[in-house]
């Protein structure tokens, strides 16, 4: 198996995730794009393990655990902010209430 194709796919997915984080204003979509970026890193590490670096598989498990914790904490913060500001849009969270 050629790991180059997997690395290119990983780069594409990471780029899409980074663009989604920068361009989106809805926090739920921002969290989904962060998850996409973490999965892209996991794919790159699996591709590295195909090239002979077996530690990549162990690091993927740690990345997935961090991604799961990030989603759990992020959803909790999102729910509390939506309850406080009545909107999931990040732009509205920075405005002062009159």
**9-54 confidence digits (pLDDT tens):** 999 999 999 999 999 888 888 888 988 998 898 888 888 888 777 7
**47 within a domain of the structure (yes/no):** yes
Domain that holds residue 46: 3-89
**How many other CB atoms are there within 10 angstroms of residue 87's CB atom?**
14
Assigned domain for 94 exists:
no
Q: Where are the alpha helices (DSSP H) in the chain?
A: 3-23, 27-50, 55-85, 90-93
Give the residue, 33 or 89, on which the prediction is more confident: 33
Q: Say how many domains are in the chain.
A: 1
Whether residue 35 contacts residue 42, with contact meaning beta carbons closer than 8 Å, is answered with no
**Distance between CA atoms of 9 and 79, rounded to whole angstroms?**
32
Q: Is residue 15 part of a domain?
A: yes
Question: Does residue 95 sit within a domain?
Answer: no
CATH number of the structural domain spanning residue 63: 1.10.287.3510
* pLDDT beyond 80 at 88: no
Position 72 in a domain:
yes
Report yes or no: 67 and 23 within 8 Å, Cβ to Cβ: no
Asked whether residue 59 is domain-assigned, the answer is yes
67 occurs within a structural domain: yes
Judge whether 60 lies within some domain.
yes
Distance of CA 61 to the CA centre of its chain: 15
Q: How far apart are CA 64 and CA 1, in angstroms?
A: 23
> How much is the pTM?
0.76
């Amino acid at each position: 198996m050629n790991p180059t194709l997997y690395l290119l796919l990983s780069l594409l997915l990471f780029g899409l995730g980074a663009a989604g984080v920068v361009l989106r204003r809805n926090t739920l979509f921002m969290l989904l794009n962060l998850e996409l970026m973490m999965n892209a890193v996991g794919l790159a590490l699996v591709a590295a393990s195909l090239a002979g670096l077996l530690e990549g598989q162990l690091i993927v498990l740690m990345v997935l655990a961090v991604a799961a914790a990030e989603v759990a904490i992020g959803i909790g913060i999102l729910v509390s902010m939506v309850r406080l500001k009545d909107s999931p849009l990040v732009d509205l969270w920075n405005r002062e209430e009159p």
